[in-house]
Amino acid sequence: MNERSTLKINGAGHLEIGGCDALELAKEFGTPLYVFDEDHIRSMIRVYRRAIEENYGGNGTVLYASKAFSCMAVYAIAQSEGAGVDVVSGGELYTALKAGFPAQNIFMHGNNKTEEELEYALSSKIGYIVVDSFSEADILDEMCSRRGVRQRVLIRINPGVEAHTHAYVQTATPDSKFGFSIANGTADQMCRHVLSKSSLDLVGFHCHIGSQIFERQSFVLAADKMMDYIAHVKSTFSLEADILNIGGGFGIYYTDDDPKLGEEDYYGYLKALCDEIKAKAALLKVREPALAIEPGRSIVGEAGVTLYTAGAVKDIPGVKKYVAVDGGMFENPRYALYQSKYTVVAAGNMNAPCTQKVTIAGKCCESGDIIAVNVPLPEIERGDVLAVLSTGAYNYSMASNYNRNFIPEAVLVKDGRADVIVKKQTFEDIVRNDVIPQRLK
Ligand SMILES: Cc1ncc(COP(=O)(O)O)c(C=O)c1O
């Protein structure tokens, strides 16, 4: 399976992750179940940190993009591995702080942070805020003046780099709700604007060119453009940027359509980035900025597996065969959103030949509630445990209670033990915030 993860087939022919038999996990915790491999998460943070250490003199930081999977345990892991984190909402910030994550190592993003979120960030003494609108800079500056504090900020820049990925997850092309374009001059306008604010310290620039990107050249090009912009800012505004935050976006393996990257490949992305930044800094005679990267998917994506129990099997002659599972778009909406592809395996029958192609459907009242289309599997019967691989990123974090289904439990596995990191919901949780107004009673 994957050299970095502990995913393997055990002697019983079952899927094993973190030393735990998937069938045992399904029996103990029930399904659907999110399973996270702790070693994988740690090894990915370590490889990025090592790359910055060895290629950039350690002048940088790995910020785990917590939108990929936010819960208290993952912030605890990030902290213990020496990573910072990025958050994009009050909820993610609260979760990180509640987990004891140091506020000064947190970056806050968002194209439309609410005033409450900004107040919360300031009162928490968050390290950095990445400002993404003129009005946000106004509001933040006013809030800081009122409190008598200064806030370090970065500006989100749109460097105009096109990454070859799904259009919904491209964020740095000129038509984007994120950032300020270098090409059309709004980046300069925003720079001038922020520099006019007496309580904001502009310490650097951020960009994020998209997600699930494999082309090393896309990242190098983004770094190249950002360094050009940093040199331009130095000559235009006499400001030397301290930080270049290049975002996340490193791709992962979902199916055989994707390359299977090893640690050295991820190291290679970082080395290429560091080399480019150093070369451009020398060429343009600017200081080498501290490098920040924000990988999310590549840290937790392949660390995650979702276990399901198969239910109804419906063979429509000449059309397709559906196997329905006890999950669906409420716990993994990525097929419905982006037609994302996944590898599905029969967790209790890993060595059996795949004799058929089936479509894995969820249990929601929605025809588009699909997990994977036409995936090769052995014969599947009601009660069999299926595992969908590489579900660690943007599954739990995008889950909902659609159809009032429970958001599944999440467990962290390591060396044969499994610990709950997100508890099972109950019917009581489902109605916890419901209120019947008196007049309806
Ligand atoms: C600003 C920002 N940083 C980091 C990320 C993480 O990207 P990925 O999970 O692809 O590494 C995202 C994802 O959308 C993002 O918008």
Query: What pairing do the DSSP bridges indicate for beta strands 33-37 and 15-17?
Result: unpaired
pLDDT digits (tens, 9 = 90+) for 115-142: 999 999 999 999 999 999 999 999 999 9
Residue 365 bears catalytic tag: yes
List of E strands, 290-404: 290-293, 304-316, 320-325, 344-346, 356-361, 370-377, 385-389
Interval between CA 154 and ligand 1 midpoint (Å): 16
**Domains of the chain, CATH where assigned:** 8-30+303-431 (2.40.37.10), 38-300 (3.20.20.10)
Asked if 128 and 104 touch (Cβ cutoff 8 Å), the reply is: no
User: What's the pLDDT score for residue 165?
Assistant: 63
In this predicted structure, the answer to whether residue 404 has a pLDDT above a threshold of 80 is yes
DSSP-derived secondary structure for 160-219:
-PPPSS-GGG--SSSS-SSSEESTTSHHHHHHHHHHT-TTEEEEEEE----SSB--HHHH
Spacing, Cα 388 to ligand 1 middle (Å): 22
Whether residue 2 is predicted with pLDDT greater than 60 in this model: the reply is: no
Task: Report the pLDDT value the prediction gives residue 163, as an integer from 0 to 100.
Answer: 76
pLDDT over threshold 70, residue 166: no
Query: What mean pLDDT, rounded, does the chain reach?
Result: 96
Q: Which residues form ligand 1's pocket by a CB distance below 6 Å? A: 65, 67-68, 86, 109, 171, 208, 211, 247-250, 294-298, 393
Query: Which region among 169-173, 287-291, 430-434 has the lowest average model confidence (pLDDT)?
Result: 169-173
216 pLDDT higher than 60: yes
pLDDT confidence tier of residue 3, bands split at 50, 70 and 90: low
The pLDDT assigned to 5 comes to 76
Section 31-46 average pLDDT: 98
Maximum alpha-carbon separation in the chain: 73
243-287 residue pLDDT tens: 999 999 999 999 999 999 999 999 999 999 999 999 999 999 999
- If one counts every other C-beta atom within 10 angstroms of the C-beta of residue 419, the result is 12
Contact between residue 216 and residue 268 where contact means Cβ atoms under 8 Å apart = yes
At 143 the pLDDT is 98
Q: Is 90 exceeded by the pLDDT of residue 20?
A: yes
Catalytic residue among 20, 71, 191, 365: 365
Cβ contacts of residue 263 below 8 Å, gap of 6+?
A: 3, 4, 43, 47
Greater confidence, 166 or 296? Answer: 296
- For ligand 1, the distance from its centroid to the CA atom of residue 171, given in whole angstroms, is 9
Residue 79 has pLDDT above 90, yes or no: yes
pLDDT category at 173 given cuts 50, 70, 90 is low
pTM: 0.96
